[in-house]
Amino acid sequence: MKIVVIGGTGLIGSKLVNKLREHGHEAVAAAPNTGVNTLTGEGLAEVLKGASVVVDVSNSPSWDDAAVLNFFVTSTRNLLSYEAAAGVGHHVALSVVGTQLLAESGYFRAKIAQEKLIKESSIPYSIVHATQFFEFLKGLADISMVGDKVHLPPVLF
């Protein structure tokens, strides 16, 4: 089965592509560095030809509220449109546990908008709500540094 992984060269996507290939699927890593740009639509028609499933594990390159919203809305609209034209049978999107409860965050508002677009499309879908990944721990610690001390919120971590 041909499965296109949007964000397929990133942290999660590259692992997913390898795992799908181990299970005998034709997994295609789609990302700007492979000639596929979901924001502009570049390369989408070509990469989706013959695809049964699209798995979107892409992420916004910016955390700015407006930019992240634009990324997820534009990218998802383009993906769903090109998928419909190519006859893709299923759309899978990676999201975050608790997204609906965190609407005060611009990032989570963008994920809510992405999920809404997917649910309203004509393409059968699965939305996978995952918890944070251990791979992000170093980055969280790095951005929490003030001088030589790490400042974290008073919650279980």
β-strands 149-150, 145-146 pairing? antiparallel
CA 91, 119, 101 angle in degrees (round to 5)?
110
* Predicted local confidence at residue 134, as pLDDT: 64
At 69-112, the pLDDT tens digits run 999 999 999 999 999 999 999 999 999 988 888 888 899 999 99
Asked if residues 57 and 15 have their Cβ atoms less than 8 Å apart, the reply is no
- Taking each helix axis from N to C end, the angle separating 65-86 and 106-120, rounded to the nearest 10 degrees, works out to 20
* Residues in the chain with pLDDT values less than 70: 133-137, 140, 155-157
pTM above 0.75, yes or no: yes
Instruction: Measure the CA–CA gap between 153 and 157, rounded to whole angstroms.
Output: 9
How far apart are the two ends of the chain, measured CA to CA in Å? 39
Q: Which residues contact 109 (CB under 8 A, 6 or more apart)?
A: 65, 69, 103
Which domains does the chain show, CATH number per domain? 2-150 (3.40.50.720)
* Predicted local confidence at residue 142, as pLDDT: 77
* Predicted local confidence at residue 101, as pLDDT: 84
Torsion (CA) 37, 41, 44, 46 in degrees, nearest 10: -110
